[in-house]
Amino acid sequence: MSDAFIPAERVVALARGWLGTPYRHQASVQHAGTDCLGLLRGVWRALYGVEPEVVPPYSQDWAEPQGEEVLLQAALRYLLPQSGTIAAGDVLLFRMRAGAIAKHVGICSQAGETAKFVHAYSGHAVMESPLSQPWRRRIAAHFRFPLGV
Domain count, the chain: 1
> Considering the domain boundaries, does residue 125 fall inside one?
yes
Among the ranges given (32-46, 50-64, 122-136), the one the predictor scored with the smallest mean pLDDT: 50-64
In-domain check, residue 97: yes
Assign residue 92 the CATH number of its domain: 3.90.1720.10
For residue 33, count other CB atoms closer than 10 A to its CB: 18
Residue 124 CB-half CA count within 13 A = 10
pLDDT > 70 in the chain, percent: 96
33 in a structural domain: yes
For residue 132, the model assigns a pLDDT of 96
From residue 71, alpha-carbon distances to 31, 54, 112 in Å are: 24, 13, 26
- Give the range of the structural domain holding residue 23, as residue numbers without chain letter: 8-144
Structural domain includes residue 14: yes
CA distance 25 to 2: 32
Q: What is the pTM of this model?
A: 0.93
Q: Would you state the pLDDT for residue 37?
A: 96
pLDDT, position 1: 56
Query: What pLDDT score was predicted for residue 67?
Result: 77
User: What's the N-to-C CA distance of the chain in angstroms?
Assistant: 6
Residue 2 lies in a domain: no
Highest mean pLDDT among 26-35, 59-68, 93-102: 26-35
Has residue 18 got a pLDDT over 90? yes
Mean pLDDT of 76-94: 96
The mean pLDDT value for 37-60 works out to: 92
> According to the 3-state scheme, what is the secondary structure of the chain?
CCCCECCHHHHHHHHHCCCCCCECCCCEECCCEECHHHHHHHHHHHHHCCCCCCCCCCCCCCCHHHCCCHHHHHHHHHCEEECCCCCCCCEEEEECCCCCCEEEEEEEEECCCCCEEEECCCCCCCEEEECCHHHHCCEEEEEECECCC
The per-residue pLDDT for 60 is 76
